[in-house]
Amino acid sequence: MIKVKFNDFQSEPIKLKKHMLSSIESVINSGSFILGDQVSKFEEKWAKFCDVKNAIGVGNCFDAIVLGMQAMGIGPGDEVITTPETAFATSLAIMKLGATPVLCDIELSTGHMCIDSAQKCVTARTKAVLFVHLYGQAGNLSKWQDFCSSYKVDFIEDCAQAHGAKFENKPVGTFGTFGAWSFYPTKNLGCLGDGGALITNNDEIAKKVGMLRNYGQSKRYYHDVVGINSRLDEIQAAILNVRINSLEEFNLRRKEIASMYNENISLDFIEKLSMPEDLNSHVYHLYVVRSKKRKEMMEYLTSKNIETLIHYPVLINEQKAAKGKVVVPVELTSAKYHASTCFSLPCHPQMTNQQVMHVIETINKFE
């Protein structure tokens, strides 16, 4: 029987694995393990890939958001408008600085933040909008730039799922004050553990984050600000320096799989999200659908050896840790519906056409 894993790292090309092992060995042989040549090399590569002046490697995307907002001066008493339908880390980063996440509703067509809903969330305390390029799809960034400009607030991009995505042929992460990235293993560009980066064209933000990630040091033993320890690991950077060479190829395969799903899934019980207007705007970190029969569908697919997951079943404001720490000034009607019906189908670069068609045919046979 055909088995389809949600992710399948074991099936990655042998050549890629050999190059990763060689890169790890080079770090071991170098004797330089913290903020060495591999981190510098990756920061240069990632900045070039994103067409931005500065890239700073940090421990994870959460830290990238925290340190970026800290460098901007966001803190207690400030509000940041963001989405209720994403990983908890996005809002947690705001909370960690003592600021308040203000949650707006989403668009059902994409899962992205709804700009009309966000407009109702603006107050005198609003300092920024933190936009999430959910599932790997770029948002309509010109509209969000205009929105933030009209209210004189900063625009920040959570790009954790959108490696390689573009809006009007410009990489995401470059439209606001800064962009935050995750290199968690399952991401389109992932390492073999935790890793993250912040990108920005603002040299002052880059300088501050460079200090903040390393105990606030301007140089060794001189601490100018109160920072933390959040340094991209040298071995993980070496892994990323290898894997970045496969990013565009792997993204293309994700798009091919998504296209097959879009064209061939015909079951009435499945709601597909809208097709991207631009082929470069979606890199399909996740292929998400909705169904009012989600539980039955997922159990059925499991019985046919097809793995599925839910991203994300619990809204931010419904999390125990968020109680009393977030503000919800609008009805989250679309977000609630989406969270209660969405689930993700396998969509990774190692899937064969046979596996993709197995998923499609199995779904279409559901009764």
What are 166-179's pLDDT values in tens digits? 999 999 999 999 99
Which one, of 179, 70, 97, lies nearest residue 131 by Cα?
179
Residue with tokens 């990774």: 348
**Predicted confidence (pLDDT) at residue 237 exceeds the cutoff of 90:** yes
Cβ(269)–Cβ(329) under 8 Å? no
**Predicted confidence (pLDDT) at residue 292 exceeds the cutoff of 90:** yes
What's the confidence (pLDDT) of residue 215? 97
Q: Where in the chain is the domain with CATH 3.90.1150.10?
A: 246-364
Cβ(132)–Cβ(91) under 8 Å? no
In DSSP terms, 44 is beta-bridged to none
Report helix, strand or coil for 197: strand
Question: Residue 73: is it exposed, middle or buried by C-beta count within 10 angstroms (0-12/13-18/19+)?
Answer: exposed
The CATH classification number of 9-105+112-245 equals: 3.40.640.10
Cβ(196)–Cβ(63) under 8 Å? yes
Report helix, strand or coil for 66: helix
**Predicted confidence (pLDDT) at residue 4 exceeds the cutoff of 90:** yes
Q: What gap in Å lies between CA 37 and CA 29, rounded to an integer?
A: 13
Q: How is residue 233 annotated by DSSP?
A: B
Report helix, strand or coil for 60: coil
Total residues found in the chain within this entry: 367
Q: Where in the chain is the domain with CATH 3.40.640.10?
A: 9-105+112-245
Q: What gap in Å lies between CA 187 and CA 168, rounded to an integer?
A: 23
Please compute the mean of the pLDDT values over residues 246-261 and round it to a whole number. 98
Q: ω before 300 within 30° of 0 (cis)? A: no
pLDDT in tens, 86-130: 999 999 999 999 999 999 999 999 999 999 999 999 999 999 999
Q: How is residue 10 annotated by DSSP?
A: G
Q: Residue 362 has which token pair? A: 């199995």
Q: What gap in Å lies between CA 253 and CA 136, rounded to an integer?
A: 14
Q: What is the pTM (predicted TM-score) of this model?
A: 0.97
pLDDT in tens, 309-361: 999 999 999 999 999 999 999 999 999 999 999 999 999 999 999 999 999 99
Instruction: Tell me which architecture the domain covering 246-364 has in CATH.
Output: Alpha-Beta Complex (3.90)
Confidence of residue 191 (pLDDT cuts 50, 70, 90): very high
pLDDT in tens, 140-162: 999 999 999 999 999 999 999 99
Q: How many CB atoms lie within 10 A of CB 175?
A: 21
Q: What gap in Å lies between CA 71 and CA 66, rounded to an integer?
A: 9
Cβ(326)–Cβ(101) under 8 Å? yes
| Cα torsion angle, 243, 190, 60, 26, sign | negative
In DSSP terms, 275 is beta-bridged to none
Q: Residue 309 has which token pair? A: 């997951």
Confidence of residue 278 (pLDDT cuts 50, 70, 90): confident
Mean pLDDT of the chain: 98
Question: Residue 217: is it exposed, middle or buried by C-beta count within 10 angstroms (0-12/13-18/19+)?
Answer: middle
Helix axes 61-72, 88-96, angle to 10 degrees: 40
Q: What gap in Å lies between CA 82 and CA 102, rounded to an integer?
A: 6
Which one, of 120, 128, 166, lies nearest residue 144 by Cα?
128
